[in-house]
Structures are given as structure tokens and as C-alpha cells.
Amino acid sequence: MIDSGEEKTRGGGSPTPVRPERLRGPVEFVGRATELAQLHRLVATPPCLILLEGEPGIGKSRLVAELLAELPGRHLVGECDDVPEPFPLGVLLDAIRGGADRLGPLNPVAGALAPLLPELADVLPNAPPPLTDPAAERHRLLRAVAAVLAALSPATLLLEDLHWADPATCELLAYLSTRPVEGLAVVLTARTATPGSSTPIHDALARTPPWSVTRVALGPLDAADVHRLAARTLRLDDPPQQLTTTLLDRTAGIPFVVEEVLRTLAERGGDPLADDSVPFVLRDVLLWRMRPLDEATREVLGAAAVLGMMPDQRILASVLSLDRVAIGAALTAAHRAGLLHDAGDGLRFRHDLARQVVYDLVPRESRKWLHLRVARVLEQELPRPVAQLAHHYRRAGSGADFVRNAEAAADLATERGDDATAASFLLQTMDIAELPRPVRVRLAAKLGRSAIDGLSQAEAIPVLERLLADRRLPPGARGELGLVLGRMLRQQGEALRGYTEIERAVPYLRAPRRKAPALAVLAAPDTVVGRHVDEHLARCAEAETAATASGDPAAHLAVRIARASLLLELGDPAAWAIIAELRASAELADRPREHARACLNWAQGALHAGHPEQAEALLAAGRALVDETGYERLASLVEATELSLDRAAGRLDGLVERLGRLVANAERMPVTLLDARAELATVLALVAGTGPGDTAEGRNGAGGTTEGRNGAGSTAEERNDLRSAAERRDDVQAAERALRDVVADARRVGAIWPLVQALSALARLLLVDRPDEAVGHASEALSLVRGKGVLAWAAEAVLVLAEAAAATGEPARAASAVAELEAGIAGREAPLALAALRRCREFVPATGKLPW
């Protein structure tokens, strides 16, 4: 069954007999002394989390094996499979099982693992009652694993092949990176992410602070290491330099390939350079090793490669219709030939590279037949291994069976709260060309719901766009898919596109419980250009009608949260009564994730209007809820709101650096990124704007005290003494570049709040040196705000216009803008805008009496 290919033998004779004794045990360990010493230093002072990265075959597993062999104490080991079941935390649970006999007293929260580890029911606490919020349930599960790991510590936790890890495991490891378990050293191995792609573990760790994970990268062996390895393996005092050069050239210094080639050279004996047919690439090495095997053994070995890294003899026997004795004899022969090795719990391929080579040697049609046979055998297993079935049916070319099992795997993952895994399975189904439209629509709707809060949005968006472009799409599906697409686009930072998609979807949403939250999204005024606040108010009223018709408490809650946010932005004092009522309600308390999101949105609205004390209280409540639920997607929003509050209060020390870190770490959360960049650029402009001849108030805009705006205890004059003109010029140029970048990106995506904020800050920055350009930017900001109808947002822009007009001796030029601001905030709770208006009247006196 395996294609033997074309091979040469020395002198046309029989192949040299294999010497099994040369195949036992690993080749000498060389070339990793520095990395091994670094790992020893790190694990000697736990807690720590180490990510060991490198390409396939680079020696990650060998290095950690050497590490564990030299480490005293308890080792917890788990290994990911390349076809994971939709079962959260599987690799961690395997590691825990290995040390469960030494478990001591446990925190009661560890009982959350009882349903996942029934074999440990006698040592785990009783399972707690289920929670209504899936995010809170997932966070409790993470805390349970951490509690068990704490009970097993001090220990070293080694998890291998994390590039295949399920998203829940990756989420836990990100959790442990910032909440380490005392006495626990965590060592992870993973393949390096390739350019343009990523894996859940890389995505998860990318969102953690840089200091929380130590990354150790392994590169190829150099010439000296290859020379030393050749000397030890071939038992030569000084191998020819030509051999080292050839090995390095043909193996790229990848240790696994170098080892396999050297093993083959050792087995063949003689002069390794006497014949240019000596194989130097892995495929040829394995071909040479398979030469002594008969056809029946090759057939079993090929089926084993189809089955996986550690083939199950019982399944192989069923697939090939052979008895277990024949299967065992064939695998033993493959072991003697150096194609498999004894892992202690069975025979397995030494490396996935070796398995892949053997797999590729099986003719394509034979592979498809074997995958189909494996799937038919696995169909009899209980519970059905749906992820493996999906994998094998897909490789067999059986689209309908693949979709059936992939959907089942996705449903199972969703049931367990693992949306990212569900999205991964559903994305694969979208590649099946012959998928009937109703099935594709059903699966796409599931994909949308699972990808909303997962890591698969970028891949899901084009799938949904293609479906919505189909004019034959049923109306109900158009509404559901359009709503999901709109939400995804908004979360990706595409404010206007997302808003527009939801607008298009609303007429097709038949169920009031679905229409109400969609309309509530359209009620938010601070996200999109080109929509007047009257439209937002109308959408909010429609949402309230739909929520009432639905009778759904969740829909009613979403609309009430949106109503409070809208009123906050409008400066309507009724917002505070709604917020107080909601925060005291059981409906919101029972949904901690929505509670956290609402508090953070309200805190931002309070900041926009100029209520720092209320914003501080709401931020504190939101931060506590995020910590409690472990909802990591809101962590960046917490930090961004906190930094905005510090800027508004004038706490500028270290703010640029903190904002810079947030921007760097928010790359995978675009919904937060643009606001954070606007905040960073504004702070840069504040710092740069205190130059010779400027007043603190005139350069830094409305809001706060002179002391607060310029940093604790320092005046503009004191700062000027510390900064040269050249330094100030450089700072101004850096701030201007940052602001222009934000303006360009905010225009592109149609995000109004960061656009107005950046334009106003840019106008302020340029007012002294380029007043005409400053007036242009301030006028654009005012025009945008006029189109929105929330005039309080234009306070800083109007102040710039008033100052510019006064500087030219023509204050009347700004009179209409100041009057417009005055009328727009009349009767509103807008402290920031009111303070700016007072400053405006110093430059542009009113003709009548002011209402304050």
C-alpha cells in the first residue's frame, strides 16, 4: 500500500541488515546548553510561564525531556493531539490525572471539575450549582483548574504541542500568566506561528502583558553542533568537514532530520561519504528503513499513519480486517526498523514529521479509502468521537458526513461554552462546495453566533459577506446573518460598515426578541458618523417597543442599558436614575458579563460629558466584575477607560507609556484600538503643547484645573524650563503624526468619537504656529458634531475657533459657533462643555445674558 519509490543500493546488492541495537535510545543531546541552562534558571524560581517555540523537528520535546530528567520534584505532563475533541481543557485534565494520587485538601471551587473528571470524584469537592452566565461558568472552571494546580504544587507543568490546543486551554494559560499559581512552573511547547497565520495559543498569549510570558526560541543546529553530533553518532573522532557541510545543507540543521540521517548512516556502516546515494533527506531515510519490510507490514504502517501519532491496534485490526496478532507483529517490525518507537504506553511515531512522510507515501486513493474505513469503525464508538470523525470524513472526501460531524462537534463545543472551537469547526464546513443553501445558511448562523466573542471573526466575516450577496437568501436568514456580520464588523473597528449592515438587517428580523437588541445597537450615538441623534432616539424608541412585544427580559435589559448610554451622551439627568435602577436589579446582577460591559460603557459616557467622579465609580464596578468573571475581552476596555479617566483628571505622569503598551497589546481587539490610539495621540499633544508663550489653560483646553491638566504640582513655566525648543518641536511633530494617523483611520472606518477627539486635539496643537490649519480642523470637528446633534462634543473645537478669532482681532468670526454651542448645551448636564463655553465667552462676549 505504501509507494516504495525509486531507491539505489550500493553495488546493486541487498540492503545492509538493520542493527536494532543502534536504534534504541535517543541520539546524543548536543547544541542546546544555553537554552537548557535558561530553562533551569526559570523553573528554579516559580511561578513562571515559559513558551518554547520552534519549527517542527527543531528539538522542543527533546529539550524539555532533558530538562525534566534533571529536575527534582513533581512533574505534570500533557500532550495535545492534532485532532482535538471539542472538550475544553483536555490536555490540562490529562496532566492533572497523572498527579491526582497526591492531591491534598482542595478549595471548594475545584468541584467545578467534577463533571469533567468523574474518575476523581472521591478526591474532588462536590460540583457547585450551575451558573446562568456561560462566561462566569467558564471563569469558574478556570479557577477550578488553578485551584487543583495549586494543590499539586510545587510542581513543573509541561504541556506539549500547544499549537493544537483547544481555545479553553489557551484561555486558562493566559489566565495563569497574569494570575500565577505559587510554586508552579509552566513550560509550554508550540510550533512557531507562520507569517499571516496564528494559533489560539499565540492569540491568547499575545493579549497578555509582555512580562508575563518568557519566550524561548529554538533555531537550527549550527555547523559545530552538527559536527559534534555526527562524531558521537558515527563514533568518529573527527568526521570529515565535507560530511558536516553536506548534512547541514541537506537537513537545514533541523535536529530531528539530522538525527534520522545519522541513524541511517550508522546502521549502514562503512564510509558515509563513499557513495553519493546515501540519503540525506527525511523521506529518503524513511524509504531506506522501509526496504526490509514486507508489503503487509507496509500496509499496516500506512494505515497507522492515517490513524494518528499513536495508532490503536484494535482500530487498525478492524480497519484492515486483520487479527490483533498480525497488527502487533507488523508494528513490532516497524519498530525494529526504526520507524516507530516505544513511548512507554505503546508504539508511536517518533515525530509528526516522520508520520507525515509515511502518510504521504500512501497513494492518494488508498489514503481516502483508509480514512473512510477509519471513520466507519469510529462510528461504532460511544461516545462518538465527532471531531475525529469530521477529520477522517473530510480527508475521505465524504462532504455530507464531514459536515454532519463537524456540526455535531461545534454544537458540543458550544454546549460547553467553547465558542472559539465551535467557530473553528463551522468555518471548515463553509469550504464544502456542494453544501445545500439551507444547510449553509443554518451553519453560517451558528458560525456567526460562535465567532462573535471568539477569535475567528476575521475568517468568518468574508463567509457571511458572500452569503449575504446571494439574492436568493431567505429573508429570515438575511436578517440573522446581517445582524451577526454587523456586530462582527463593529468589533473589528469597522464602525460605519457594521452599523450599516445592522440597519439593513433590522427589517428582516422577524422575532421581536432579536429585533430589540439590534435596534439597541443602532441607538448608540458615539460610534458612527452620518447619523443624527434624532435617528438614535427613534431607534431606541423602536427597540423599546420591540422589547415589550418580545416579553424577553434579556431584550428588555439590553434596551434599557442602551437608553441610559444614549441619555448620558445627551446630558439628560434621567440617565442616572435608569443606571441606579438597573444596577440594583436582579436582571443585571444575574448577568455579570453584561453588567461589566454596561458599567464600562456608562463610565465612558460619563467621561464624555464631564462627570469624573461618577465615571470613577462605574469604572471600579466594571473592573471588579471583569476580575470576577474573567472575561478577558473586556480587560482592554477596562484599561482604556482607566487611562482616559487619568487623562481627564490630569494625571499625566507615565500615561504615554501606559497608553503605548495598551495600543501595542490591543492589536487583536480593534474595537478598543482606535479609541486608545486617539487617547494616546491626545496625551502626546497635551505634553507637546506646553511651549514658550503658551498658557496652560489656552494650550490644554477645557476641563480640569491648570495644575491637573499639566501634571501634579507642575506649571507650564516649570515644564518649559526643562524642555528645549528642539525637544518641543520633536514632541509636536510626533504628536501631529499620531493625530493625523488617527484622523485618517477614523475617517476610513466612520468612527465619530475618536475622529472628533483627534481633530480637536490637532487643532489645539497647531493653533499657535499654524492658526489657519487649526481653524480648518476645528471647523471639520464642529461640522461632524453638528451632523450628530450632540453639541457638547464640539466644546474644544469651538474654543479653538474662539481663540483663533480673538487672536486675529475679529472675535465676531466665532460668534455663531459659540452661540451654537451655548444653545446646544442649554438645559443639559455637560460640565466639560459648560467650562469651555465660559472660556469661549472670554474671547467672544455674548450680546445677551448668559443662563449661568
What confidence tier does 632 reach under pLDDT thresholds 50, 70, 90?
low
- pLDDT at position 104: 76
pLDDT digits (tens, 9 = 90+) for 492-547: 889 999 999 999 999 999 999 999 999 999 999 988 999 999 999 999 999 999 99
Return d(Cα 331, Cα 341) in angstroms, integer: 10
Cell of 710: 499639566
Say which residues have a Cβ less than 8 Å from residue 333's Cβ, sequence separation at least 6: 293, 297
- The pLDDT score that the predictor gives to residue 778 is 97
Alpha helices in 362-418 (DSSP H): 364-378, 386-396, 399-415
When pLDDT is averaged across residues 168-188 and rounded to a whole number, the result is: 91
Q: So what's the pLDDT on residue 850?
A: 41
Question: What band does 311 get if pLDDT is binned at 50, 70 and 90?
Answer: very high
Across all residues in the chain, what is the average pLDDT?
Answer: 86
Pick the range with the lowest mean pLDDT from 94-103, 295-304, 514-523, 549-558: 94-103
| Other residues' Cβ atoms within 10 Å of the Cβ of residue 356 | 15
Mean local confidence (pLDDT), 92-97? 90
- Return the axis-axis angle of helices 313-320 and 295-307, rounded to nearest 10°: 120
Spatial distance between the Cα atoms of 759 and 801, rounded to a whole number of angstroms: 13
Higher pLDDT pick, 45 / 175:
45
Helix pair 771-788, 795-807: axis angle to 10 deg: 150
Q: Which of 165, 89, 202, 164 is nearest to 668 (CA)?
A: 202
- Spatial separation of the C-alpha atoms in residues 165 and 163, rounded to whole Å: 6
Residue 212 or residue 630, greater confidence:
212
Amino acid letter for position 136:
A
Least confident piece of the model among 472-476, 625-629, 748-752, 765-769: 625-629
pTM of the model: 0.74
Which range, of 364-373, 383-392, 718-727, 839-848, averages the lowest pLDDT?
718-727
User: Residue 801's pLDDT is what?
Assistant: 97
User: Residue 221 in contact with residue 83, Cβ under 8 Å?
Assistant: no
Give 589-628 pLDDT, tens digit per residue: 988 889 999 999 999 999 999 999 999 999 999 999 988 7
Tell me, what's the pLDDT at 694?
A: 40
Who's near 683: CB < 8 A, 6+ residues apart?
Answer: 647, 652, 655, 656, 659
Of 127-131, 313-317, 669-673, which one has max mean pLDDT? Answer: 313-317
Above 60 in pLDDT, residue 698? no
> What is the DSSP track for 473-540?
S-HHHHHHHHHHHHHHHHHTT-HHHHHHHHHHHGGG--SHHHHHHHHHHHT--SS-SS--HHHHHHHH
- The backbone region for 45, taken as left when phi is positive above 0, alpha when psi lies in -120 to 50, beta otherwise, is beta
Q: SS3 for 77?
A: strand
Question: Directed axis angle between helix 255-268 and helix 241-251, to 10°?
Answer: 130
Of the pLDDT bands very low, low, confident and very high (cuts 50, 70, 90), residue 456 is low
Range 196-203 average pLDDT: 77
- pLDDT tens for residues 4-16? 544 333 333 333 3
What's the rounded Cα separation, in Å, for the pair 173 and 146?
10
Amino acid letter, residue 391: H
Average pLDDT for 575-592: 94
- 399 pLDDT exceeds 70? yes
pLDDT value for 280: 66
Counting every residue written for the chain, the total comes to: 852
Residue 286 has pLDDT above 80, yes or no: yes
Long-range contacts of 578-582 (CB under 8 A, 24+ apart): 579/618, 582/557
Query: Is residue 86 within 8 Å of residue 421, measured between CB atoms?
Result: yes
Q: Has residue 396 got a pLDDT over 80?
A: yes
pLDDT of residue 88: 77
d(CA 445, CA 463): 11
Lowest mean pLDDT among 69-78, 84-93, 525-534, 692-701: 692-701
Better-predicted residue by pLDDT, 105 or 322: 322
Which has more confidence, 277 or 824? 824
pLDDT score at 25: 44
User: What's the rounded Cα separation, in Å, for the pair 455 and 424?
Assistant: 9
Asked whether the beta carbons of 803 and 765 are under 8 A apart, the reply is: no
Candidate from 11-25, 72-86, 313-327, 581-595 with smallest mean pLDDT: 11-25
Confidence of residue 455 (pLDDT cuts 50, 70, 90): low
% residues pLDDT > 70 (the chain)? 88
> At 155, phi and psi to the nearest 5?
-165, 165
Residue 92 pLDDT level (bands cut at 50, 70, 90): very high
Listed in sequence order, the residues at least 6 apart from 324 whose beta carbon sits closer than 8 Å to its beta carbon are: 313, 314, 317
**Predicted local confidence at residue 15, as pLDDT:** 36
Report, as an integer, the average pLDDT of 220-224: 92
Write down the pLDDT at residue 727. 79
* Residue position matching grid coordinates 480497519: 319
pLDDT > 80? residue 671: no
Rounded distance between C-alpha atoms, residue 396 and residue 340, angstroms: 25
Cα 173 to Cα 85: distance, rounded to the nearest angstrom: 19
For the chain, give the percent of residues with pLDDT over 90.
57
- Range with lowest mean pLDDT among 14-23, 186-195, 292-301: 14-23
**DSSP label at residue 75:** E
Label residue 219 by pLDDT band (50, 70, 90): very high
- Yes or no: say if 682 and 700 are a contact pair by the CB < 8 Å rule: no
pLDDT bin (cut points 50, 70, 90) of residue 675 is: confident
> What single string gives the DSSP state of each residue in 298-345?
HHHHHHHHHH-SS--HHHHHHHHT--HHHHHHHHHHHHHTTSEEE-SS
| pLDDT beyond 60 at 669 | no
Separation CA 790–CA 784 (nearest Å): 10
In 3D space, the residue among 284, 277, 240 whose CA is nearest the CA of residue 261 turns out to be 284
Residue 344 corresponds to which amino acid? G
CB 392 within 8 A of CB 372: yes
Contacts of 545 (CB under 8 A, 6+ apart): none
- In tens, the pLDDT along 113-142 reads 888 888 888 889 988 888 766 667 777 888
Q: Quote the Cα angle for 436-442-445, to 5°.
A: 135
Residue among 310, 289, 302, 290 nearest 352 (CA): 310
Q: What is the per-residue pLDDT for 429?
A: 94
Between CA 570 and CA 578, with CA 574 as vertex, the angle to 5 degrees is 110
CA distances from 609 to 345, 564, 795, 832, 836 (A): 65, 13, 10, 6, 12
